[in-house]
């Protein structure tokens, strides 16, 4: 996908740290995009990422990047606290913006970005990478297409021996992945109502390192998320339970990413049971087959970058647009408030009226 005049979309990557090199690599192989700059405060690091033979320009001058008419879009991969400021500067300069999670440090700042982008007719997109995996795309079809039946629960575990960060806790570091997946899977008429979060800092480092989030949905179903920086083993598993079928996604199992179980527990109305049966169980177990769908193996980040280019070229909202970023921010803020209140359930703030439509 290119611009309306057929030329590639000029893009600059802002940030050459942990995630920036991945964006650089995928921008360079995405049809319709042309990488113009890699911008970082450490120019030597940016040059090292690009390599000695690259024609992409390395710079530490963000203003120069944003004033260059060859740059139509930017991808922001800087520390989380800087996302809102850089994204706002780019939008104000008339650039489309792809920003790493989270969108901003607060729902209010995120809403300003969404309003600015929509008022200017610019694409604002979140790099919610997991939403572009074949597994999550398949799960989304199962949930929203009704094949699993009514959503009863979601359990997600994302644990590993991770880097204890100074600027964000484990909830803001890891949970955005799971919350964005939840947001992507939910049918349009199902919304998060509240979040109850419990966390611990066993290292005494001043940041919550282990946390459990319980997200109550408008249907009464519960989504449970466990995130942990301290586990010596890495686990990336999500179970989506429905009234008809249950899907299990193991992201670390390349031979069987997703398994769909035709097994469930069924209940009967007591009025339909005889007197003798009424005194026995009202629950029955249905045991059916397990199906492991064949899913393509492709890099989610490349699919995400292609969606960014397509959304710009087609003048439409991307799958993970600014509004999705706001919905994730609302759940993160509720989780943080719950941690401060000792685990009490905190309502998820509804999006501001001007960006809720």
Domains of the chain by range and CATH? 9-127+300-320 (3.40.50.720), 131-298+333-346 (3.30.360.10)
Write the pLDDT tens digit of every residue in 237-280: 999 999 999 999 999 999 999 999 997 666 666 666 555 555 55
To the nearest whole number, what is the mean pLDDT of the chain? 91
Residue in this structure with the two tokens 């650039």, named with its chain if needed: 95
Instruction: State mean pLDDT over 313-331.
Output: 96
Structural Rg of the chain based on CA atoms = 22
Longest dimension (CA), the chain: 82
Instruction: State mean pLDDT over 137-145.
Output: 97
Cross-strand bridge partners of residue 192: 217
Residue 120 pLDDT > 70: yes
pLDDT at position 164 is: 82
pLDDT at position 165 is: 81
């Amino acid at each position: 996908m290119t611009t309306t005049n057929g030329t590639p979309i000029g893009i600059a990557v802002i940030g050459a740290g942990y995630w920036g090199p991945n964006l650089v690599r995928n921008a360079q192989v995405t049809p319709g995009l042309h990488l113009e700059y890699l911008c970082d405060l450490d120019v030597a690091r940016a040059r090292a990422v690009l390599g000695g033979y690259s024609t992409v320009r390395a710079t530490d001058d963000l203003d120069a990047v944003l004033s260059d008419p060859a740059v139509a879009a930017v991808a922001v991969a800087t520390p989380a606290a800087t996302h809102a400021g850089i994204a706002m500067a780019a939008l104000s300069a008339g650039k489309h913006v792809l920003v790493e999670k989270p969108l901003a440090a607060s729902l209010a700042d995120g809403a300003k970005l969404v309003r600015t982008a929509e008022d200017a007719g610019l694409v604002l997109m979140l790099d919610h990478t997991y939403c572009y995996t074949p597994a999550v795309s398949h799960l989304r079809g199962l949930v929203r297409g009704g094949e699993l039946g009514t959503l009863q629960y979601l359990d997600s575990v994302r644990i590993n021996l991770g880097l204890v960060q100074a600027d964000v806790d484990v909830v803001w570091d890891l949970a955005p992945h799971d919350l964005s997946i939840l947001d992507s899977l939910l049918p349009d008429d199902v919304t998060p109502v509240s979040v109850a979060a419990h966390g611990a800092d066993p290292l005494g480092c001043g940041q919550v390192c282990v946390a459990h989030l319980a997200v109550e949905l408008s249907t009464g179903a519960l989504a449970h998320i466990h995130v942990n920086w301290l586990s010596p083993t890495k686990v990336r598993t999500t179970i989506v339970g429905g009234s008809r079928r249950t899907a299990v996604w193991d992201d670390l199992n390349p031979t069987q990413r997703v398994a769909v179980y035709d097994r469930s527990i069924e209940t009967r109305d007591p009025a339909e049971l005889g007197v003798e049966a009424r005194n026995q169980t009202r629950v029955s177990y249905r045991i059916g087959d397990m199906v492991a769908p064949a899913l393509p193996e492709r890099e989610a980040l490349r699919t995400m970058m292609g969606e960014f280019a397509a959304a710009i070229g087609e003048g439409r909202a991307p799958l993970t647009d600014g509004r999705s970023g706001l919905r994730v921010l609302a759940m993160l803020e509720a989780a943080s408030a719950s941690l401060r209140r000792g685990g009490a359930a905190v309502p998820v703030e509804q999006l501001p009226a001007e960006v809720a439509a």
